[in-house]
Amino acid sequence: MKDDQLDLPGNFCRMQHGPWRVRDVRSGTASDEASQFRSLFRRFDGDELNDWNESKQRKMGKLGLVTNIYEDDTVTMVFEDLERWDFPLEALEPSAPEFVKGFRFVVEPDAASGA
């Protein structure tokens, strides 16, 4: 297995850097959705880095780029708003989208130079 690939738990596909979608569990009331989404993080209950939080909840259904893959079956993702969050693999859709439109990262010239 390559360093940039991990098996998804329960699925026999490979986790790779690139675009992945945060699992969308919208069905029912907002409290039901929050509870269902939060349950995807149960392996990391109380872990400040990997556990659920409200900011991660707002990423539900959103597309992000996997930038780091870890041996504990978590990934770091960066989103279009440039927020970075760690997610357990259980919180991701099992397959990467094949077509991505409108996902751009823009670096301001002054920001790139540090001025």
Q: What's the domain count of the chain?
A: 1
Output the pLDDT for position 102. Answer: 61
pLDDT tens digit string along 28-38? 677 777 889 99
The answer to whether position 48 is within a domain reads yes
Residue predicted with more confidence, 12 or 45: 45
Is 28 a member of any domain?
A: yes
Note the pLDDT of residue 25. 80
Residue-number span of the structural domain to which 60 is assigned? 6-113
Quick check: is 1 in a domain? no
Q: Checking DSSP bridges between strand 74-79 and strand 84-88, what pairing results, if any?
A: antiparallel
